[in-house]
Structure 1
């Protein structure tokens, strides 16, 4: 297998070649190691030296190269959560549940991918590792917080990489890098309900097959013909921030295609109070930094980035009533989404309000940011994703268009809780019809 051949294949194709005996898993691994090194030189997405965590050879993705995010995932594998304050010798003590399932699926882990410090940014530009560069334009970011994973998958290093999503951290980098990014429904795995654990891929079929391998079979929708589905569509952010006209145009085009496919598409969206979303996000930030504060040894403030220091100061000043208030705000925001999906089957929105941002647009180490100021800056860039973490619906970002400057534009499709079947069916249809807008490239 040659490098250029490998870089064009998705995970399903590679696994099929291995099963058929047309290539050995060892040959794939050798090529993949070269691909990872070459791609990383371009996009700077690796968080450390190579690691090797083999998967079950009986799994459906046996022999398929894979990368994990720089979080505690696999027993014995180091992690740093993107922070200079975490010593390089710290390793995970056990496999997380999702890692155990990735192993059973057969995926071969070859390394760790970069993330912003503690995952609290929609840009992956940690001081520990430097910025992850967008393969389509190295002057622009790969999104966050799973930006290293997105950059490397889009650059052809591996067909699939682990990602997780607490406010948009799968979908935002998927949009930036022209990938498929599914956040599963809350509660699909043990762990924090708002945090969706899954992966970034280059094809819908990889996403669908991996979802079945990790979460179980996708149940048929039982909705009859597609035209019975009712979808809302909006390009207006609940926060009132402006949406780039090219982003809005690609989203509207997706809605028109769904209409042609027989769905009933209406210009409508959930009603919610943006102040509730912002208040709930304060609680989520507190939850992200709490493990660091609970560690046996306090982190060195000099090694933390500015926004982390600001969040820590706010968390230390929070009372139990403050945390309860944030949780109540999140539930109020979620209620509006739950009411919407009692009436509608799908919602279509932009994934991001803007095109992929230039490096430094979201500077996490800028000491001028207050916590409120940071949230406003981050959510001005990505105002469409967070509410579905609060409310728990599955949501997918699809690479459905390009800007006039050829930058990827993602469209988010959301379904009711537990209805990944609807998302994946619609995604497969949209992927085929927008193939001319999103040609496969080897970066």
Structure 2
């Protein structure tokens, strides 16, 4: 048996290999991860619900012989529902409600051999970029517990960064995989639209902007997890272009000499423009040049069209109201405005007042805009940007500002991520920079639609040139 110290910082790929070789059992890996969660999580509130007894039985039983057999994982408390288990979506009235169905995504994780240990903290409905929900304690950043983990996959990111588990489920509607990855020093790969099924209940959410994935410590784990969850399912409204081969085979593959454009500051006033984020891009650009790529200052002209925010908020408002009505049916009563956060009250009110024609007009505008955005990639392979507009802010910076100012601050903080939810393109955040105070700052690479293979090749190349796996936060297992 391997002791806790031997497996804590092994990635999921390495842990699965130990299981295959018989050097550690799934039950031993589960016990080690449970011990880490029990010891460290009280300092972080990354995990808000556990299923340790069920996990012990599963790990000791006949697990599927998938590529991650026996590896412990945490599931985000938003999406990835499992029949008979609670998924609260960050909403207090759902904290004790068991869902009646299992998502395809949860089935894929189980078929891969993962052993889920519990659920991670999220902001309410995932509609903000910090994990400080009204109904649950705030998630704390293991690099500095007074700072945000990001959102909406903030609990997942804190848990992986602190070494509680090697990987955790995450999803992304406006940056919610990449933002927490940046703020917690992890790899966060957002897949192409349609790559991961949201069925059987959901065809698309936020007009196709949402997608599931994971936060990881290594590029090979990000690739391997997308290989096992990126399966088209019957009835999906659209499928992503098939990849030429499994993404794990792209790890270490030569990407060739690429043409990469970079952008290090927002194109409009009102967004945060931090020198540490510019420094992160400058460092990544130099590294890419040293690896033989052509790097130039260039970005899509449509990146900061002033109409984007209004149309995207229309989509979110409509989806928020529809989702809340579904939850009200599930619990058998209305959810009062005093039970949810002012941000989501505002979205509900806007969604109720929204007409079908206005909603469709916003979708149509965004579809035309996405075509203008995509044209830039006919002359470039990748776009390099900061992941977010500033290093991790202190807890309360968003939530204590008041409802109107909170919305302004949310928008100001994400100049680079939500655009690629609306276009559906794949993007990855990599931990290539830290502030003098020790806070992580990620950089984002964006590829053309369907080109996760190219992202994995380049991300792997950067990981080899500037390794980050030996950096651990002050609060860790």
Instruction: Give TM class, smaller chain.
Output: over 0.9
SS at match of 2:8: helix
Aligned to 2:415: 383
Deviation at 1:185, TM superposition (A): 0.1
Residue among 310, 315, 323 paired with 1:284: 315
Query: What is the rounded CA distance, in whole Å, between the counterparts of 1:225 and 1:4 in structure 2?
Result: 34
Residue among 71, 82, 87 paired with 2:90: 82
SS at match of 1:134: coil
Aligned to 1:257: 287
User: 2:402 matched to 1:401?
Assistant: no
TM value normalised by structure 2:
0.87
Aligned to 2:125: 118
Deviation at 1:116, TM superposition (A): 0.4
Aligned to 2:138: 131
Deviations 1:117-167 (A, max 9, x none): 000010000121111000000000100000011011111110010000000
Query: Where do 1:5-44 residues align within 5 Å?
Result: 5-44=6-45
Deviation at 1:293, TM superposition (A): 2.4
SS at match of 1:309: helix
TM value normalised by structure 1:
0.93
Residue among 161, 183, 192 paired with 1:154: 161
Aligned to 2:268: 239
User: Structure 2: which 5+ runs fail to align?
Assistant: 198-202, 232-244
Aligned residues of 2:429 and 2:443 also touching (Cα < 8 A): yes
CA 1:31–1:256: 2 relative to 1, 3 Å: same
Deviation at 1:227, TM superposition (A): 4.5
Residue among 196, 205, 208 paired with 2:223: 208
Query: Where do 1:218-233 residues align within 5 Å?
Result: 218=246, 226-233=255-262
Aligned to 1:166: 173
Aligned residues of 2:196 and 2:229 also touching (Cα < 8 A): no
Aligned to 2:371: 335
Query: Where do 1:293-312 residues align within 5 Å?
Result: 293-294=325-326, 295-296=328-329, 297-312=333-348
Deviation at 1:22, TM superposition (A): 0.9
SS at match of 1:205: helix
SS at match of 1:311: helix
Deviations 1:331-372 (A, max 9, x none): 243123211112211111000110001001111x76x424xx
Aligned to 2:238: none
Query: What is the rounded CA distance, in whole Å, between the counterparts of 2:255 and 2:76 in structure 1?
Result: 36
CA 1:184–1:323: 2 relative to 1, 3 Å: same
SS at match of 1:161: strand
SS at match of 1:278: helix
Larger CA deviation: 59-68 vs 46-55: 46-55
CA 1:121–1:416: 2 relative to 1, 3 Å: same
Query: What is the rounded CA distance, in whole Å, between the counterparts of 2:70 and 2:110 in structure 1?
Result: 11
Aligned residues of 2:78 and 2:126 also touching (Cα < 8 A): no
SS at match of 1:44: coil
CA 1:411–1:81: 2 relative to 1, 3 Å: same
Larger CA deviation: 21-30 vs 315-324: 315-324
Query: What is the rounded CA distance, in whole Å, between the counterparts of 1:225 and 1:182 in structure 2?
Result: 19
SS at match of 1:66: strand
SS at match of 2:160: helix
Residue among 415, 427, 445 paired with 1:413: 445
SS at match of 1:359: coil
Deviations 1:282-321 (A, max 9, x none): 1332213421124323212221111111111111121223
SS at match of 1:48: strand
User: Structure 1: which 5+ runs fail to align?
Assistant: none
Larger CA deviation: 17-26 vs 188-197: 188-197
Deviation at 1:436, TM superposition (A): 6.4
CA 1:245–1:330: 2 relative to 1, 3 Å: same
User: 2:456 matched to 1:427?
Assistant: no
SS at match of 2:146: strand
CA 1:239–1:290: 2 relative to 1, 3 Å: farther
Query: What is the rounded CA distance, in whole Å, between the counterparts of 2:280 and 2:133 in structure 1?
Result: 31
Deviation at 1:437, TM superposition (A): 9.7
Deviation at 1:12, TM superposition (A): 0.8
Query: What is the rounded CA distance, in whole Å, between the counterparts of 2:256 and 2:67 in structure 1?
Result: 33
Aligned to 1:369: 403
CA 1:202–1:194: 2 relative to 1, 3 Å: same
Q: For this pair of structures, how many residues does the alignment match?
A: 436
Aligned to 1:197: 212
